[in-house]
Structure 1
């Protein structure tokens, strides 16, 4: 797959709320994930750990009201998408979150993902 095809497929799977499928299909075994600095356990490595992190994130939500994913922007070995979610969390609070997601591709697989968003406070 080309980087554009990988980016398009990630967007498709994300919009359909199929994050585990996206990890299994598009990510390298040794891929890493990075949240904003200061987030506890914000860096995770290894495909199974990325899947576990994603599934834990999903379990924190009671209801997803809206999920938006932009079209990807591809440049060299990277692509980025914007993601937004309007969600009611398990504790009953509702919030809207927005982030820029940057992915690095090597040898036809995503090897690194980084999330950029505003930190509370």
Structure 2
């Protein structure tokens, strides 16, 4: 897949609630995920199994009431960015928030090899 095809598929998958399918189809086995803030497991997660674990944690702890996805914004021949808007509720505390997040994805050999998330703290 080309960079544009990968970016487009990631966007469509997010909009259609296919994030897990995106992991299997679009990510390299040794992909790295970097968060702006440590949520208890460190800021860097290495490997597809670890990234799946992040998704498990997210789904166990948050209810998503709304999601907007802007982009992709392609940069050069190896990366793209996406802007996410989220309306979430913490399942334990009941606190509901609206947040925006920027994600930058790095692509090599037709697979996402690194994702980096930026958000206000």
What TM-score results when the alignment is normalised by the length of structure 2?
Answer: 0.92
Within 2, Cα distance between the matches of 1:81 and 1:25?
Answer: 18
Structure 1 partner of 2:99: 97
- 2:80 maps to which residue? 79
Aligned CA distance change for structure 1 residues 66 and 37 (closer, same or farther; 3 Å): closer
Q: Following the alignment from structure 1 to structure 2, what is the Cα–Cα distance between the partners of residues 104 and 15?
A: 20
- Which runs of no fewer than 5 residues in structure 1 stay unpaired? none
**Alignment partner of 1:107 out of 106, 109, 113:** 109
CA distance in 2, matches of 1:18, 1:93: 25
Residue ranges of structure 2 left out of the alignment (5+ in a row): none
Q: Secondary structure at the match of 2:36?
A: coil
| 1:4 to 2:17 alignment | no
Q: Cα RMSD between the aligned structures?
A: 1.2
Structure 2 vs 1, CA of residues 39 and 56 (structure 1 numbering), >3 Å: closer, same or farther? Answer: closer
Q: Normalized against structure 1, the TM-score is what?
A: 0.92
Task: Identify the residue that residue 118 of structure 2 maps to in structure 1.
Answer: 116
Q: Distance in 1 between matches of 2:117 and 2:73?
A: 15
Aligned residues: 118
Q: State how 1:28-107 maps to structure 2 within 5 Å.
A: 28-40=28-40, 41-61=42-62, 63-76=63-76, 77-91=78-92, 92-107=94-109
d(CA) in 1 for partners of 2:90, 2:60? 9
Structure 2: distance between partners of 1:18 and 1:44:
21
| 3-state SS, counterpart of residue 114 of structure 1 | strand
